[in-house]
């Protein structure tokens, strides 16, 4: 919370008119809790008045004008990304067998998990468009790609040994770089 400051005496009125988290949420078009989370993570500067967070309008403007940050992936999403990067490596080396296997998997998944139909249809469309579109979905950190990978038709593309190697590498990286 590098940007957060405590106001020791709440009776001291700052020179600028500060916004409540609710006011800031209305400006941003988000929930009040999201604004609190932004403040607590240090991404949105705030001051504390008693137990309340207050946001300087200039800090809110700076936040609005700042370039968007990459979404932070949860550990399991990051692991899925690593595994799908390995699948992408196989795809660029030999696209047709990888795409054929994914098509067969889609047929099986459709009958086993009807609730995943929208995701499986999205994968089918990507596969029909070709390797470049599939590669984008396999390696992107955009929210839609992260969701798609939760219903991936690429099971069986990696050998057990290749999958273990990726898992081991991921664990080693996570140990050496916690929180990244």
Q: Domain residues of the chain, as ranges?
A: 5-65, 75-176
Indicate if the pLDDT at residue 8 is higher than 70: no
Model confidence at 67, pLDDT cuts 50, 70, 90, reads confident
Give residue-wise pLDDT tens across range 70-84.
Answer: 667 889 999 999 999
77: Cβ–Cβ under 8 A, 6 or more apart, which residues? Answer: 146, 149
Helix 95-112 and helix 131-139, axial crossing angle in degrees, nearest 10: 70
Indicate if the pLDDT at residue 95 is higher than 50: yes
Q: What percent of the chain has pLDDT over 90?
A: 70
18: Cβ–Cβ under 8 A, 6 or more apart, which residues? Answer: 47, 49, 54, 55, 56, 57
pTM: 0.63
Distance of CA 159 to the CA centre of its chain: 27
Contact 137, 126 (CB under 8 A): yes
What is the structure's pLDDT at 179?
64
Indicate if the pLDDT at residue 6 is higher than 50: no
CATH number 1.20.58 given to 5-65: no
What do you get for the CA distance between the two ends of the chain, in Å? 18
Q: Report, as an integer, the average pLDDT of 165-179.
A: 89
What is the structure's pLDDT at 69?
67
């Amino acid at each position: 919370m590098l940007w957060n400051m405590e106001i020791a005496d709440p009776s001291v009125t700052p020179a600028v008119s500060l916004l409540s988290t609710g006011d800031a949420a209305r400006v941003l078009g988000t929930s009040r809790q999201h604004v609190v989370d932004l403040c607590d993570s240090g991404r949105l500067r705030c001051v504390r008045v008693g137990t309340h967070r207050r946001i300087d309008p200039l800090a809110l403007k700076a936040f609005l004008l700042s370039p968007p940050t990459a979404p932070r992936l949860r550990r399991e999403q990051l692991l899925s990304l690593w595994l799908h990067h390995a699948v992408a490596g196989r795809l660029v080396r030999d696209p047709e067998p990888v795409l054929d296997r994914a098509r067969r998997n889609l047929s099986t998944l459709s009958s086993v998990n009807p609730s995943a139909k929208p995701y499986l249809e999205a994968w089918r469309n990507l596969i029909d468009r070709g390797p470049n579109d599939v590669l984008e979905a396999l390696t992107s950190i955009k929210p839609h790609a992260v969701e798609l990978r939760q219903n991936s038709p690429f099971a069986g593309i990696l050998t057990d040994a290749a999958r273990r190697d990726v898992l081991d590498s991921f664990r080693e990286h996570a140990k050496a770089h916690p929180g990244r």
